[in-house]
Homo-oligomer: A and B are copies of this chain.
Amino acid sequence: MKLVFLGTSAAQPTARRALSCTCLERNGEIFVFDAGEAAQVSYMKAGLGWNKKMRIFITHMHGDHCVGLFGLLQTMSMRKRTEPLEIFGPAGIDEFVAANTRMLNFGLSFPVMISVVSEGRIYEDGEVVIDACRANHKVTAFSYRIIEKDRPGRFDVKKAGALDIPKVLWSRLQNGEEVVVNGKKTSPGEVLGERRPGKKIGISGDTAPTESLKEFFAGCDILVFDATFLDSEESKAQETLHSTARQAAMLAKKAGVKSLVLTHFSSRYKDESGHLREAREVFDSVTAARDLLEMEIR
């Protein structure tokens, strides 16, 4: 599983940073969080593949977070994508996609489903769940978290052999069932290693820090958080309902996350050194995202 940052600038792009887009690649599937203008250009550069299973999660209906949808949809159609694609977002996402698909006169080579998000569980399959939580921004906005389901421990073939358990019964032990061989019970715990816990990744989108987000992101392995401003612009952060790097770090610390990634930097800053310095004053494990940064999650 890896995070790939496709756009890390706030509001206005810079020569080095495109507008918001963060991808999580997991088992050949892409979870895209926001699609700012020109997301397709970074997506192409990252070489993530045009016909992959994909779900797109829009945090809020501001242009710098969703205008890139059309370039992605159009280019995937021109490249003859066949895989269905699902787009999640706040109310308005449905009209936005439908109206522009009509007004821009383009056909789609693949099915697109739109799901309007409200708080709570918005997606679940056999391996992950995705939840939404209201963020605090100028328009309706959601933060998302993706949680891998725990996997059972590794099956110990040697132990199973020593216990004379026939192969045909192994899958039952792997699935957590007890088996009986020649009148002797074996419990799954005797042949399985420790349960492998899933990872938990948080994506804030644009938001001021809130108590409910602290709860929502509690225990995340990686939290990607709005760090638009420095301390010196804290009043600007408050006014525009964004966060400072320090506020992101304080929330990460209180939420007990393992690692924090700052993103969504205002174009007024030449680099992110100030953000890193201020965040590290309150929390140790901080990284600054940059366009095309890839981060393996193990």
A241 at the interface (CB under 8 A from B): no
Q: A13-B38, A41-B38 are in contact. Are A62 and B104 (CB under 8 A)?
A: yes
Within 8 Å of chain B (Cβ to Cβ): is A139?
yes
Total interface residues in chain A, CB < 8 Å:
36
* A71 at interface, CB cutoff 8 A: yes
Residue of B with least CB distance to A104:
B63
Q: A175 CB to closest chain B CB, in angstroms?
A: 46
Closest to A66 in B: B104
Contact string against B for A residues 43-74, beta-carbon threshold 8 Å, 1 for contact and 0 otherwise: 01100000000000000011110111011001
Interface-forming stretch among A94-102, A159-167, A195-203, A216-224? A94-102
Q: Are B44 and A15 in contact (CB under 8 A)?
A: yes
| Given contact pairs A44-B13, A99-B103, A103-B95, A71 touches B67 in the complex (Cβ within 8 A) | yes
In the complex, whether A226 has a CB less than 8 A from a CB of chain B is no
- Which B residues are CB-close (under 8 A) to A41? 13, 15, 18, 38
- Residue A287 at the chain B interface, CB threshold 8 Å: no
Q: Is A12 an interface residue (CB 8 A)?
A: yes
Residue in B closest to A39 when the chains form the complex, CB atoms: B37
A66 contacts across to B, CB distance below 8 A: 104
Q: Is the CB of A37 within 8 A of B68?
A: yes
Q: Please give the distance in Å from A50's CB to the nearest CB on chain B.
A: 10
Tell whether A128 is near chain B: CB-to-CB under 8 Å: no
Q: Do the beta carbons of A104 and B67 come within 8 Å of each other?
A: yes
Q: Whole-angstrom distance from the CB of A135 to the nearest CB of chain B?
A: 15
Whether A92 sits at the interface, judged by CB under 8 Å, is yes
- Beta-carbon contact of B105 and A61 below 8 Å: yes
Which of B44, B78, B92, B103 is A96 in contact with, Cβ under 8 Å? B103
Is A11 in the interface zone, CB < 8 Å from B?
Answer: yes
Q: How far is the CA of A74 from the CA of B11 in the complex (A)?
A: 9
A106, CB-defined interface residue at 8 Å: yes
- Closest B residue by C-beta to A106: B63
**Pairs A–B under 8 Å by Cβ, sample size 8:** A13-B44, A15-B41, A63-B71, A63-B74, A63-B104, A66-B104, A96-B104, A105-B139
